[in-house]
Amino acid sequence: MTKTPLVSIIVGFFNAERFIEETIESVYSQTLSDWELILIDDGSTDRSSAIVQQYASKNRDRVYCLTHPGRRNRGVCASRNLALSQARGTFIAVLDSDDVWLPNKLEEQVEVLEQNPHVGMVFGASRYWRGWNASGARAGSDYTPELGIETDAIHEPPSLLRRCHPLGRATAPCPSDLLLRRDVLLAVNGFEEEFTGIYQMYEDQAFLAKVYMSTPVFASARTWTKYRLHEDSCCYRVEASGEERKVRLYYLNWLSNYLGACGSQDADIQQALSREMTIARYPLIEKLANLPGKLKETVKNIIRPSYM
């Protein structure tokens, strides 16, 4: 019988032949070796399926490839949930098929959770990675955003929902940088499968909102993940299409319904949600709020102060 792994790694992919091999190799390079890798083919039509199958065939006891019935394309959330249903590890790590991990990622994150048994999730400060494309116009301009919250610290629920993007100004963690306890993922019912198509831009925020509401989270100052910036990403395509506000409002409406179902009475979160929904519905308010001095004071006499 195959030994139960400490960490289950979930990688969903769709037409990812450009980057998937480098992503998988970053798993193989981990200093912690007690893992299983579950790859979910979300209906790919390029060579990425063949690339993944080569890894699975060479390491059948720890690398697995799953598909949806009929090889359908169901989206990243349904793919992750399929993998979660098969995962055996105590801890779950999500890795997008275009990102890579630094070698000490799993070892150091597992140590954080083992030392803090009441904490359900850990993340760090991801490197936003442009340098992968040496020929690009912005090659080499990598950066690591400040998290904007206390680091190497435990944040109790639901504080990060209010403080982190999109309700707050702090940086939201990248999905590829998360390590969670499996029981936390199961308790929040995994990932929100209604976030498909362009709405996948906010699927991570929907998942994080559920986690922020349910468990303490450890935020680290360490960098463990390289988050690849490229023109084929969902975020880039949505922003280029001019549909970002539409997608943002979809998420905010989902969050409003979720908080209502949870019976949340947190006044700060409700105020932040109301502000962001107003800005999403009426973009001019955001521009007016950034006016200088006297102009802003004039606008305050017209628009409610809570929106400024």
* Per-residue pLDDT tens digits of the chain, which is 308 residues long: 468 999 999 999 999 999 999 999 999 999 999 999 999 999 999 999 999 999 999 999 999 999 999 999 999 999 999 999 999 999 999 999 999 999 999 999 999 999 999 999 999 999 999 888 765 545 568 999 999 999 999 999 999 999 999 999 999 999 999 999 999 999 999 999 999 999 999 999 999 999 999 999 999 999 999 999 866 655 656 566 677 889 999 999 999 999 999 999 899 999 999 999 998 888 766 566 555 655 545 554 555 444 43
Go through 48-57 and write b for each residue having 16 or more CB atoms within 10 A of its CB, e for each that does not.
bbebbeebbe
Give the pLDDT confidence score for residue 137 in this predicted structure.
47
- Treating both helix axes as pointing N-terminal to C-terminal, what angle do 76-86 and 203-214 enclose, rounded to 10 degrees? 50
The one-letter code for the residue type at 34 is: D
Whether 225 and 177 have beta carbons less than 8 Å apart is answered as yes
Give the contacts of 86 (CB within 8 A, at least 6 positions apart). 38, 64, 66
Distance from C-alpha of 121 to C-alpha of 178, rounded to nearest angstrom: 7
Give the pLDDT confidence score for residue 161 in this predicted structure.
98
Distance from C-alpha of 216 to C-alpha of 118, rounded to nearest angstrom: 7
Distance from C-alpha of 91 to C-alpha of 13, rounded to nearest angstrom: 21
Residue 199 tokens, joined: 């709405």
Give the pLDDT confidence score for residue 132 in this predicted structure.
81
| Burial class of residue 140 (count of CB atoms within 10 Å of its CB; 0-12, 13-18, 19+) | exposed
| Domains of the chain: residue spans and CATH | 7-243 (3.90.550.10), 265-307 (no CATH)
Give the pLDDT confidence score for residue 131 in this predicted structure.
83
Give the pLDDT confidence score for residue 279 in this predicted structure.
87
Q: What is the separation of C-alpha 300 from the centre of its chain, rounded to a whole number of angstroms?
A: 36
Give the pLDDT confidence score for residue 149 in this predicted structure.
98
